[in-house]
Amino acid sequence: MASRNPSFEVRPSVITGDTADVYLHRTQRILRNEGLNPRVTMEFSASRASVLCGAMEVKALLGKVTSEGNREVWAVEEGTEVGEGEICLQVKAPYSSFGLYETAICGILAHSTAWATAATEIVRAAENVPIICVGAHNVHPSVAPVMDYAAVVGGCASGSTVLGTRLADTQPIATVSGALVQIMGDPVKAIDAFDRAVAPDVQRVAYVDPRKDVVAQSVEVARAMKDRLNAVRLSRVPGGVSVQADIVREVRQRLDAIGARKVMIVLSGRMSPERIRTLLDEGAPVDTFHDTGYIAAARPVPFWPNIRSISERPIPQETEPPPPNPRLLRIL
């Protein structure tokens, strides 16, 4: 757990409880009226097998709203596979110090765990080929950096947003944009302008226009850029069709034929595990996959909140509770 120490922003609207379910506000008000604020143990369990993520963001939130010396927060290490019903987070503190944030805690865990789980699925399918999460176009901007962070927790090499990769302590990955190619009218002009404008330590990854012959463009760009080109990015072929293995093989063969063996091939698009396995099984020589949608579209993993004890007294449970989880580590 100590290896990850991201600096998450906790928005004022979360602190004030404006994002909380209204019944939690009413619960707080009633408990104040009744003079009740017992110390409770609340646990959060995963609803299905997944890869845990979000514990460090929960730590950032609870670090601001609970008092040191009057709290304990325990969690399974981020990036760990957890089972259905496994207790992944445990909070021990006076209820009124954190009860209002039950909504936020569950939401943080649900989405971050979903993104990390989806990332793990495609990373495993890709075996030794790196995966980059470039799905920020497909989520709300307020959560795009968190998605990038979760994707790295799940095994991706990096993400595409500045803040997300800062959280994950990786370098943001990007290519020449499709907009630049369209505006300049030519992928060679676009990569040349990129080369002249961007710092030397940034990789030169040319975007080939999917409306034209992607093989011919890849060769043209490689010839023009020579040793300055790091990679070509393929996304689609004319007609909006996904790139298949035969196209990737042809690009590789043509690049090798002109001596551009060091130029890598980046394939972008929605990278499901099935698509990745098919491409690799068919011999597509892809050097890096850029996922634009599989991670972003991951189905949330609901977390079940449950009060286990009040004032150190165990509370009867609906079903037989799981035993204490030895994988919980204290994070706060």
Sorted by sequence, the CB contacts under 8 Å of residue 56 that are 6+ apart come out as 1, 4, 5, 6, 8, 78, 331
Give CATH 3.20.140.10 domain extents, the chain: 12-114+299-330
pLDDT at 317: 82
One CATH from 3.20.20.70, 3.50.50.60, 3.40.50.1100, 3.40.50.300 for 157-291: 3.20.20.70
- The pTM assigned to this predicted structure is 0.93
Q: Which long-range contacts (CB under 8 A, 24 or more apart) does 307-310 make?
A: 307/40, 307/41, 307/42, 308/41, 308/42, 308/43, 308/90, 309/40, 309/41, 310/38, 310/39, 310/40
pLDDT at 1: 39
Residue 136 DSSP label: G
Residue 25: other Cβ atoms inside 10 A: 13
pLDDT at 318: 82
pLDDT at 242: 93
Give CATH 3.20.20.70 domain extents, the chain: 157-291
| CA angle at 136 for the pair 135 and 137, rounded to the nearest 5° | 90
Each residue's pLDDT, cut to its tens digit, for the chain (332 residues) gives 334 678 999 999 999 999 999 999 999 999 999 999 999 999 999 999 999 999 999 999 999 999 999 999 999 999 999 999 999 999 999 999 999 999 999 999 999 999 999 999 999 999 999 999 999 999 999 999 999 999 999 999 999 999 999 999 998 887 899 899 999 989 999 999 999 999 998 999 999 999 999 999 999 999 999 999 999 999 999 999 999 999 999 999 999 999 999 999 999 999 999 999 999 999 999 999 999 999 999 999 999 999 999 999 998 888 787 788 999 999 99
pLDDT at 4: 62
What is each CA distance from 47 to 113, 119, 202, 247, 302, in whole angstroms?
11, 18, 41, 41, 6
Distance CA 59, CA 142 (A): 19
Please state which CATH class domain 12-114+299-330 belongs to: alpha beta
| CA angle at 52 for the pair 149 and 326, rounded to the nearest 5° | 135
